[in-house]
Amino acid sequence: MPSDPYSGPASGALLSCLGFPSWGGLHLVVPSRGQPPALARRLELCQRDDGAVGGQLLPALLRRHRDLEPLDPARWPWAGESAMAWPRAWGHRYLLICRWGSATPLRIAAWRRQGEGQGQQGGWARLCGPVPLSSFGERFLAPRDGQEMTRATPSPTTIRAMAPTAQ
């Protein structure tokens, strides 16, 4: 059993992207590496290496990570009768929102699948959000270059992002 508290029972995920210019709502299947640290790394690479900011993030994400596949509308699990309509391969789900004119145009929310068994339906537990994308990266990415960071002490950016007035 993994020791990472953010890992779910499966490595796949669903990433729903809304508000991006010239794109309708787009739901992407992340077939592997769908845990929060892996998704945060994918998004960080697009921003850092491709210079993707704001509405440019979605096209950069699709160019860089070709394993992401659009979800066929006929397979949308929320159109099903119960939580069991969600594929077991999806251990996480995310909502990435682009809000033009906002001080923080990119915001993300994350959920983790709860355990199934002992009569539970396997619902979703919120991990975060919606928070600015930078706060998501600060929370889930490991520190670099010997920097020490603990989850017990969030950064000032994270604190501001989670305040009720910031939403």
Tens digits of residue pLDDT in 5-26? 444 456 899 999 999 988 888 9
- State yes or no: cis peptide before 130, omega within 30 of 0: yes
Domain-located, residue 6 = no
For residue 149, give its domain range: 12-166
Helix H or strand E segment including 48: helix 36-50
pLDDT tens per residue, range 98-152: 997 777 889 999 999 887 654 455 688 999 989 999 999 999 997 655 444 444 4
- How many residues does this entry show for the chain? 167
Q: What is the pLDDT of residue 8?
A: 45
The residue type at 52: A
pLDDT: which is higher, 147 or 38: 38
Q: What is the 8-class DSSP label of residue 99?
A: -
Q: What is the pLDDT of residue 2?
A: 42
Domain-located, residue 7 = no
As a whole number, mean pLDDT of residues 75-87 equals 67
Q: What is the pTM of this model?
A: 0.74
Sequence-ordered list of residues with C-beta below 8 angstroms from that of 140, at least 6 positions apart, any chain: 6, 36, 37, 39, 40
Domain-located, residue 2 = no
For the chain, the straight-line distance linking the first and the last C-alpha, in angstroms and rounded, comes to 35
Domain-located, residue 18 = yes
Number of structural domains (the chain) is 1
Q: What is the pLDDT of residue 52?
A: 83
Domain-located, residue 79 = yes
